[in-house]
Structures are given as C-alpha cells and as structure tokens.
C-alpha cells in the first residue's frame, strides 16, 4: 500500500521527531560555526600587532594594563612558534572539514526538504553504499592520523630539546599569588643557587651561534598554578610535590607578559608575571647586582630597624640583614623591579606606600597582612625600601 501511506505512517512519529531535531541541530551548528568564524575574523582585524620590544617600561597603571600582550599568534620563541604552527594547521583542517560537511548538508537539507507533492510517496530505500562508507571511514582516520603525527612530532621537538651550555636555569616556585624565581648555576655537582627574585624574570637574548634558552624547573609552594607566557611557550603546570620542566628562547628584546593559567584561589587573576629579554651585557650587570647583598644606607637606618623589628622579617628576605623569611618575595633588590604585587601595580613610591599600608585595597584576600603602624613608621619603612636597588 505504498501509494497511500503517508510519511508518518512509513517512518513513525519518533523517527520523524528525530529527523526534525537532526535538521534543527545541523543547521544550528552550521550557523554557530559561521558565527564563530565571523567573530574570529573580527577579533583578528581589531588585534593590533604589538611587538614585545614596543612596550615601554611600566610607569602608570594604564600603561601596565595596556602593555599586556597575551597573543598566542604572535610567537617570539621557537617552541611557541611550533605551537602556533600546529594551531594554524588544526584550525585549517577543521575549517576544511567544516565546509566539506556544512555546505553539502545545508544544500541537501534545503533541496530535498519535504514538499507537498511528496505526500504519500515513499522515498527510494537505499541501504548503504560501500564506496561512500569506506570513504568516510578512511578519510577521517587518515586526518586524525596526520594530526596525531604532527602533534607528536611537535611535542617531542619541544620536550627533547637539550639545554646548551649557555642556557639559563631558573627554578620557579608558584605561591598564592606571586612567582618566586631562583636563578641557578650549573656545575659538576649539579646546581647551586645564585640569587632569588620575584615576579619579573630577566633573561639574556641569544646571539648568532650562541643560543641562550631559558630552562625552568617548576614547583609549587601551595596549590596548583600554571606558568604561561603565550608569546614564549605553552602552559606548564606547577604541581605541589612535583617538578615540571619547560623552556623558551625569546627572539626579541623587550617585555613579555604572562599569567597564571590554573585557578589557584581568590587572587588567581592577579598573578601576572613579566619576562624581560635583554642583551647579554645588561643581563650580566643585572645578575651581578642581584647577587649582592642589599645596600645599607645610614640615612634610612630608622626604617631599616622598623622593618627588622616588625613582622616583615617573618615573610621577606633581605640579603645582608637578619630578614630571612621565605613566605613572601625576596626584597633585596626590590626597586629594580618595575611592578609590585605580581605585576598588578607599578613599583612607584605612591603605590608602594599604598601596598604597605593596606595590601587588601590592592589585592583583596592576599596573604600580606596590614601592619597597623603609624603614618610616620610607614613612611620610614617606605624610605628604606626605596633604597633597595
Ligand atoms: Cu596561581 Cu592561578
């Protein structure tokens, strides 16, 4: 009774519903895909290329915020370049598959839609086609295999890169909510500590024939964090009780911005970091200064005494003084850093005083306590800190 059977009668109500839903989702996802490509294109056209070297030293809060370059598609290190290339390849493959499936799908859904004249006519009953089924099994399998090979090769290239003799070694410890950097020197017996600093990492540029990549050992003092400087390398987690490794090699001088990329508590979003790539002489000068003890300026003796007799010493180290705390950043050369509180405010007299008096006003929930001193005492401590160059 084919001639009189209606569509509902042939395929059943639930199948009809499935058909309608399938059409709905197919066209819906196609439109969402087009929308996503559109958004991507708009975002791309608005993104002004910002070279790391273009960013000026931080002076104001505004420049600090606008100088942050977190663009993965402007890589400036061999491994971030590899990652960007793989990403382009994946986006390309996805775009081709999307169009190969989406366009015919939309054409078929419109051209062969249910029409009035179709009522009561059963469509031709086709039960599969070997060539087509082989094609849509083998095609995706080959695509996935190619993606697998390219990704594996890239991961291997990044992981297996051995440290050349000129490499810089830094132990990075993630804290709630700041970064500790311990610069290490490699010798026969392993590594010895050179000095410790915080939040701003300085690294030397490589030269023709003398690569100077930076190798990091990543650890955590509390919870999980993730070290991420998009222009330099992919993310690597800092996991309590474990040491992870990564490296990067900046191609241009300048400041690179990064951020903690693993939720680690209240101030996770304020766990910025900055990497300054500079020429070898400047880097060596900086290292030589960092290795020195803090200066002792007799004109700020009162502030120094206040610092050393208050709870500041429980958390902070100032080399050359009894202050040996390990909880907060090393302040020995505080004033060589451009920012405070893990890259969120400029390291100027005004902000440093505000940070001392009321850390919560800048970083709510942070572990730096309010000391409740007199204005006079705060100013004396401020004057002392300002000498730590
Ligand atoms: Cu540290 Cu998020």
Note the pLDDT tens digit of each residue in 105-126. Answer: 989 988 888 888 887 788 788 8
Instruction: Return the residue whose CA atom lies nearest to atom 1 of ligand 1.
Output: 225
Residues 91 and 201 in one domain: no
Q: Which atom of ligand 1 is nearest to the CA of 269?
A: 2
**What pLDDT is attached to residue 12?**
58
Domain assignment of residue 281, given as a range: 168-291
Residue 69, domain member (yes or no)? no
Q: Which atom of ligand 1 is nearest to the CA of 265?
A: 2
Rounded to whole angstroms, how far apart are CA atoms 385 and 328? 15
Residues 144 and 32 in one domain: yes
Residues 201 and 231 in one domain: yes
Q: What is the mean pLDDT of residues 118-136?
A: 85
CA 265–ligand 1 middle distance (angstroms): 7
**What phi, psi does 201 have (nearest 5°)?**
-105, 135
CA 261–ligand 1 middle distance (angstroms): 6
* Per-residue pLDDT reduced to its tens digit, 66-93: 667 788 888 999 999 999 999 999 999 9
Residues 8 and 103 in one domain: yes
Rounded to whole angstroms, how far apart are CA atoms 69 and 67? 6
CA 175–ligand 1 middle distance (angstroms): 8
Residues 249 and 142 in one domain: no
Residue 82, domain member (yes or no)? yes
CA 352–ligand 1 middle distance (angstroms): 23
Q: What is the mean pLDDT of residues 269-289?
A: 94
Residue 62, domain member (yes or no)? no
Residues 261 and 312 in one domain: no
Residues 11 and 135 in one domain: yes
Rounded to whole angstroms, how far apart are CA atoms 26 and 202? 51
Residues 314 and 214 in one domain: no
Helix (H) or strand (E) holding 46: helix 13-46
Q: Over the chain, what is the mean pLDDT?
A: 87
Residues 30 and 84 in one domain: yes
Residue 66, domain member (yes or no)? no
Q: What is the mean pLDDT of residues 46-50?
A: 52
Residues 238 and 336 in one domain: no
Residue 71, domain member (yes or no)? no
CA 271–ligand 1 middle distance (angstroms): 6
**What pLDDT is attached to residue 47?**
57
Q: Which atom of ligand 1 is nearest to the CA of 261?
A: 2
- Where is average pLDDT lowest: 36-40, 84-88, 304-308, 374-378? 36-40
Residue 39, domain member (yes or no)? yes
**What pLDDT is attached to residue 53?**
45
Indicate whether 55 pLDDT > 80.
no
Q: Which of 256, 291, 326 is the last residue of a domain?
A: 291
**What pLDDT is attached to residue 7?**
46
Of 224, 276, 270, 225, nearest to 248 (Cα)? 276
Pocket of ligand 1 (CB under 6 A): 174, 177, 225, 260, 262-264, 268, 271
**What pLDDT is attached to residue 81?**
93
Residue 117: DSSP 8-state = G
Residues 363 and 270 in one domain: no
CA 223–ligand 1 middle distance (angstroms): 8
CA angle 19, 22, 26 (to 5 degrees): 145
Q: Are strands 214-220 and 244-248 parallel, antiparallel or unpaired?
A: antiparallel
CATH code, domain carrying 340: 2.60.40.420
Q: List, in order, residues 6 or more apart from 220 with CB less than 8 Å away.
A: 173, 174, 175, 238, 239, 240
User: How many domains does one find in the chain?
Assistant: 3
Rounded to whole angstroms, how far apart are CA atoms 251 and 255? 12
Residues 305 and 197 in one domain: no
* Per-residue pLDDT reduced to its tens digit, 178-210: 999 999 998 888 899 999 999 999 999 999 888
């Amino acid at each position: 009774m084919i001639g009189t059977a209606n569509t509902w009668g042939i395929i059943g109500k639930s199948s009809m519903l499935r058909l309608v839903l399938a059409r709905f989702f197919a066209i819906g996802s196609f439109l969402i895909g087009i929308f996503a490509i559109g958004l991507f294109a708009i975002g791309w056209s608005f993104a002004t290329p910002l070279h790391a070297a273009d960013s000026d030293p931080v002076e104001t809060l505004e420049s600090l915020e606008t100088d942050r370059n977190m663009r993965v598609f402007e890589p400036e290190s061999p491994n971030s370049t590899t990652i960007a290339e793989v990403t382009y390849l994946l986006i390309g493959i996805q775009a081709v598959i999307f169009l190969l499936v989406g366009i015919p799908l939309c054409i078929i859904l419109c051209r062969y839609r249910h029409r009035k004249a179709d009522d009561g006519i059963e469509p031709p009953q086709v039960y599969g086609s070997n060539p087509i089924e082989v094609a849509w099994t083998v095609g995706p399998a080959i695509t996935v295999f190619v993606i697998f090979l390219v990704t594996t090769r890239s991961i291997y290239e990044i992981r297996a890169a051995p440290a050349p003799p000129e490499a810089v070694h830094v132990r990075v410890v993630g804290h709630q909510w700041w970064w500790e950097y311990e610069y290490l020197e490699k010798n026969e017996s392993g590594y010895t500590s050179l000095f410790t600093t915080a939040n701003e990492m300085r690294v030397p540029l490589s030269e023709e024939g003398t690569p100077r990549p930076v190798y990091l050992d990543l650890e955590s003092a509390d919870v999980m964090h993730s070290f991420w400087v998009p222009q330099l390398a992919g993310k690597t987690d800092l996991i309590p009780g474990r040491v992870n490794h990564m490296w990067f090699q900046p191609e241009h001088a300048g400041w690179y911005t990064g951020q903690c990329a693993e939720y680690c508590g209240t101030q996770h979003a304020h766990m910025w970091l900055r990497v300054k790539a500079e020429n070898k002489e400047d880097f060596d000068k900086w290292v030589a200064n960092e290795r020195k003890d803090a200066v002792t300026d007799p004109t700020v003796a009162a502030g120094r005494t206040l610092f050393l007799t208050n709870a500041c010493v429980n958390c902070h180290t100032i080399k050359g003084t009894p202050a040996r705390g390990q909880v907060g950043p090393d302040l020995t050369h505080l004033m060589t850093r451009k920012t405070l509180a893990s890259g969120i405010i400029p390291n100027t007299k005004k902000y440093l005083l505000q940070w001392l008096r009321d850390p919560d006003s800048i970083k709510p929930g942070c572990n730096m306590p309010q000391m409740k001193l007199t204005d006079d005492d705060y100013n004396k401590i401020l004057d002392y800190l300002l000498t730590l160059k």
